[in-house]
Structure formats: structure tokens, C-alpha cells
Amino acid sequence: MARIELNEIAHSYHPNPADESDYALKRIQYVWEDGGAYALLGPSGCGKTTLLNIISGLLIPTRGKVLYDGIDVTGLPPEKRNIAQVFQFPVLYDTMSVFNNLAFPLRNRGVESGEVDRRVREVADILDLTPYLNKRAEGLAADAKQKISLGRGLVRSDVAAILFDEPLTVIDPHLKWNLRRKLKDIHEQLKLTFIYVTHDQVEALTFADKVVVMYEGEIVQIGSPQDLFDNPEHTFVGYFIGSPGMNFLDCTLEGNVARCNGARIPLDDGVAAKGRNAQGKIELGIRPIHLQVSSVAVDGGVPANVKMVEDQGSYRLVNLTLDGKTLRARVPESEPIPEDQAWLVFPLEWTRLFADGRLIK
Amino acid sequence: MEKWPNNKAWFLVLPAFIIVAFSGIIPLMTVVNYSIQDIFGPGEAVFVGTEWFKEMLGNHRLHDALWRQFMFSGLVLLIEIPLGILIALAMPKRGWGVSASLVILALPLVIPWNVIGTIWIIFTRPDIGLFGVGINSLDLLEVPFDHTAKPIYAWITLLAMEVWHWTPLVALLAYAGLRAIPEAYFQAAKIDGASAWATFLYIQLPKMRGVLTIAVLLRWMDSFLIYAEPFALTGGGPGNTTTFLSIYLVKLATMQFDLGPAAAFSLIYFLIVLLFSFAFYQALLNVGRGEKA
């Protein structure tokens, strides 16, 4: 059991990093609480795997410290830390049986054979691997292999945290769901800290209690799935979370109204006041699900043209243009959609302003 | 099964068939033909059945050459395979060192067999060779080093030649095999607390199975068929101590002109190579598989 603290971590793959852009990770400060289920979400190349490897000890950060329960482990190799890692594709010892695969980390640590046997059977039972124990690992299906990789982490009684590096990438879609459920069950059963790296928001949001969103080497927001959806603190979070992502419009503020080219969008008084004080490029953001489409002129409505309607089965996605900018609105199947001319309503409570990408609050 | 209305496509196989026929099938059949006849001159051949085979299987000189051959190939494999793996493990993984070591390793491979023989003969000569003069000046050996002086010296020179020439091939194959192992395996092994030896035994060696199979087969066949090196070095001597199968075969066929026995011998030789290649292949394919807890 451990609480993992990242203290001012920065990492660069350059031997002599000169400026900010040489860093794959820029100043990460975070505490992973014991027993939490975390997801580390971000696009490819945002530094999430780098961060994971720093936590596991495969990489030593250029700057900063990693603390486990307050003890500095920054310079310790992975085998000296009580963590386990599951990789993108299953890593197995091909020539060994499933049993020996699971026993391997224990035997390397000199655990006596009775204890090895007991632990392996226990873990095999949790992972539904008991029938395969005597089979050779090589011939098994991808999901079973990935469970063995996980099992090699679980089998160690001292393990405090298990790190997952996009573990479901090679699993068939219909098995993904099962395996994700299994992970969640195991987390509830064993109360270990799970840190799960993924670029798939569905995976992150279903798996984790807390999602850490990374973008260009920085943590841009940490929160529950609901938080990320309702209150994105960065335009990247708005764009990355949700399907499709948030709509953004460049605008200038005139009193309580946001001017986006010709369109005038009314804002909440408080938001507008803070926005007027903010520095940098101002953007207005709204989620497609919150954007209301009306076929008749309404008070505070902004005229727009319907370009395309995508029927997604349970809802429809309407693409509209507003002064040359494309916006998307998510409309329930039951509601009518205007043919061409439409009026958009931006509800005050869901219309956000961002200054240089950061939420104005 | 459905039949094609037009079977002319078979003609496309014809060029390949003709090439294989002239390069393989016809020469082999000629040998088979010789092996079952006693030929005195053009048009004077007597069918002798399996007589040559019987004679050859009972031939003591062939037995001796065969054991020598097994000994030599066995030693070659025992030295070259582990040495090649060691070199591959020690090679740099990135940077300019990779290209440099690859080029240096490839050098012996591009030198013709006869040149290699000449290089080593000069290198080990007791009068002018660097090695020969060097080791004799130390005055450690009872009989001064000269590859024609003692059988063991001839063998050492031959083995050194063979190892120098062909270990790089094993090393290159093993290196390719090692480089193909994804980094995650080593990271997982670190996390599992595996020692360097365990990492080698359970990750690197199994992952090199394919390339090592090729290396063992190539080195086995090649060393079993060795001809140019002992021929250049001592022509099979001193005495008959480096008369390997192919040297004996050539003596039989081209010097004594015993074509019948030589043909029978060739076929036996061919079958031995085939049999052992098959055995090695099967063994390497299945070693370490089906292990139970």
C-alpha cells in the first residue's frame, strides 16, 4: 500500500535540455492516493507513458522527486519499488507454463515454494486462469495473456500500485468490455492503486474514479468523469472529452455579449465580467449536447445554417455554420430539425469562456 | 475440387523446372547411376547393385573420416554458437558503434575461402607468421608450433580459421534476433526482478530460437561439407588427421578415379547431412516447449 507523490517532476529525452520545448514532461506535481483508480488520459505523444515509466522507475526524471509513502524512490530501479506494470501488448515468458509465469516474480524474490504455490493459485482464481495453469502461456488468446501479465503484478503481496499502459489495445472489442469489468472488480476486491494510461476516453471514464488529462507534457485537468464533461478547465479537455468534443468560437466581449464575427451571443453577467478582465485570446465554448437548435426565431437566438445531419441511432448530430464556423449540436431523435435556417440558443449556464485555452472562472 | 478449363499455366513452371533439373535432379541422378554400376570405359558398364554401398559402409578410411567430421562439426557448433551469442549480447545497441561493429563483423564473411586459408597459413607460419613466430618465441611448447608438425596444431589452426570466418555470421543472426525483442519484455523482466541470467534464459534465448535454428543449420551443413580450408592448409594431413569426408571423397573420385564407390559415398554423405539437419531442426523447434508446472 502506498501513496505516490510526484514532486515537481520534469523529464526531457535530450541530454542537455535547453528550453521548455525540449521537455516531454513539464513540471508535474501530483499525489496518487492509496487505493485509487486513476486514468491518465491524453493523445499520443502527450507524455503519459513517460510519466508512467517515471512512476515505475523505468525512467529517472530529469528533475524532481518520486515519493512512495513519503520515502524518496527517485533513483530506485523498478524491482526495488513495490509496483507492477502491464504493457500495451502482453509480455509473457513464452517457454514457461502459465503457473511458472505467475510464479516468476516471486521466485526471483526468493519466496519459498509453498507460499509461491498458494499465491499463484489465489491470483489464478481471481483472474479465472485456474484451468490454464499447466498450459504453456504462448498458445493462449490475447486477453488471457494480458491477464497473465496483470497476474504477475497481483501475485506479489507487497505490490502497492499497478500501472497499465494502454493494456486493451490488442484485445478484441467484444473482450475489451469483459476485461475492463474484470479490472474494475479486481480493483474493488484488492483496493490497490491502479493507474491506467489510455488515449481512449471511454476506457478512461468507465474505469477511473479520477481522470488525469494530459496535454503536451502537462496535466491540464484532474477530476471525475462528470467534472471533465461539465467543467472542462482547458479547451483541450473540452475538445478531447465527449463525442464529439466541445464547440469553440473565437470572440470578443462587448458588455454581456460575446461577439463572434457577426453573431452576438448573450453571456452570464458574472462570466462576462471576469472575461473582460482576462488576458489573451478569448474563446467561447459549448458542448454539442447543450447547444439548442430552434427552427423559429427565438429571443437571444443566433441565426445559423444547417449543413448536415448525422443520425447516430439514439440521437442526431447537426452540423451548422455560423459565420463560416462549423458548430455541432446533439439533438434527441424526437425533436424536429430545421431544414436550412436555424436559430441557436446558447444556455447561459453551459456557455463557457476560455482565455488562452484556460477556463475563465 | 473445381477443375480449370485451361491448364496452360503449367508451362510457366517449365523454366524453373528446367533450371532445377540441370542444377539438381540430373546431377543427382548421374551420381545414383554411377553408384550402382561398375564403369570400365565408355559403353562398358556392369550393373553391380548395392555392392559399392556395402563396400563403402565397411570402409575403415571412410569411418575414420566420418568420426573426424563429426568431431570437427561438433566442435565448430560448440564454439561458434555460444561465442556468436556472446558477441551479439556485447554489441552496442545504438549510436555509431552499431554500424562500426556490423562492418567489422561482416569483414571475414566477404573473404573467399581460399584466401582465408592463405591468410591463416601465413599468420601461423613458424618462420614469418605473426602467430607462429609469436607463440614459438614464448618457448612454451614442446614441439614448436607449425601446423604441419602435429595433428593437434593442424586442428587448432583449422578450428581457428573456421571460427574466425563464420562466428560473425552467427553473431549477426543472433544480433538481429536480439534487436527484434520489444523493449517491454526487458522492462517487464526488470519489474519482475529477473536477474540478467534469467532475462537471458527466459526472454532472449527463446526469442532467438528462430535465428539460432538457422545459424545451427547453416554452420552444421557448412562445417560438415568443409573442403577448401583443410585442402589449402595441409591437403588432409599431417597423415590423414584432417582428411574430412569431402577431402577423402575428392581423392577417391578424382585421384583414384573410383567413380562407383565415390558415388555411393556421395549419396551416403548427402543422407547424413539431410538426416542431421532434420534432427537439429526438429530439436530446436521443440526444445523448451510443452513444459509443465
Summarize pLDDT for B124-143 with one digit per residue, the tens: 888 888 888 888 888 777 78
Q: Do B30 and B125 have their domain in common? A: no
Q: How far apart are CA A72 and CA B80, in angstroms?
A: 47
Q: Is the pLDDT of residue A219 over 50?
A: yes
What CATH number does residue A270 fall under? 2.40.50.140
Total domains present in chain B: 2
Rounded to an integer, the average pLDDT of A197-212 is 86
Map grid coordinates 535540455 to a residue.
A17
Total domains present in chain A: 2
Q: Chain A: nearest CA to B93, how far in angstroms?
A: 17
Residue A303 belongs to domain spanning = 243-359
Q: Is the pLDDT of residue A223 over 80?
A: yes
Q: Is the pLDDT of residue B121 over 80?
A: yes
Q: Do A180 and A287 have their domain in common? A: no
Q: How far apart are CA A218 and CA A224, in angstroms?
A: 18
pLDDT at position B291? 46
Adjacent-strand bridge partners of A213: A41, A221
B203: chain A residues, CB-CB within 8 Å: 93
* Residue B5 is assigned to a structural domain of this protein: no
| ipTM of this predicted structure | 0.76
Q: Do B225 and B245 have their domain in common? A: yes
Amino acid at B210: G
Q: Do A227 and A264 have their domain in common? A: no
Kindly give the pairing relationship between strand A193-198 and strand A37-41.
parallel
pLDDT at position B244? 86
Q: How far apart are CA A351 and CA A356, in angstroms?
A: 16
For chain B, give the mean pLDDT.
87
Please write down the HEC assignment for all residues of A181-199: HHHHHHHHHHCCEEEEEEC
Residue B225 belongs to domain spanning = 61-286
* CB-CB neighbours of A89 under 10 Å: 17
Which of A79, A109, A138 lies at the smallest CB-CB distance from B190?
A: A79
Q: Is the pLDDT of residue A150 over 50?
A: yes
For chain A, give the mean pLDDT.
85
Q: Which of residues 149-168 of A touch B (CB under 8 A)?
A: 149, 152-153
B291 to A91: CB separation less than 8 angstroms, yes or no: no
What CATH number does residue A231 fall under? 3.40.50.300
Evaluate whether A247 touches A293 at the Cβ level (below 8 Å).
Answer: no
Per-residue pLDDT band for B72 (boundaries 50, 70, 90) equals very high
Per-residue pLDDT band for A313 (boundaries 50, 70, 90) equals confident
Rounded to an integer, the average pLDDT of A36-60 is 87
Q: Is the pLDDT of residue B280 over 50?
A: yes
Q: Do B251 and B135 have their domain in common? A: yes
B183: chain A residues, CB-CB within 8 Å: none
Per-residue pLDDT band for B289 (boundaries 50, 70, 90) equals low
Q: Do A82 and A198 have their domain in common? A: yes
Which of A89, A100, A105 lies at the smallest CB-CB distance from B293?
A: A100
Q: How far apart are CA B107 and CA A180, in angstroms?
A: 53
Per-residue pLDDT band for B226 (boundaries 50, 70, 90) equals confident
Q: Do A220 and A312 have their domain in common? A: no
Per-residue pLDDT band for B100 (boundaries 50, 70, 90) equals very high
Structure-block grid coordinates of residue A299? 429571443
* Residue B2 is assigned to a structural domain of this protein: no
Look at residues A185, A220, A239 and tell me which one is the last residue of a structural domain.
A239
**Residues B160-180: tens digit of each pLDDT:** 989 999 999 999 999 999 999
pLDDT at position B286? 79
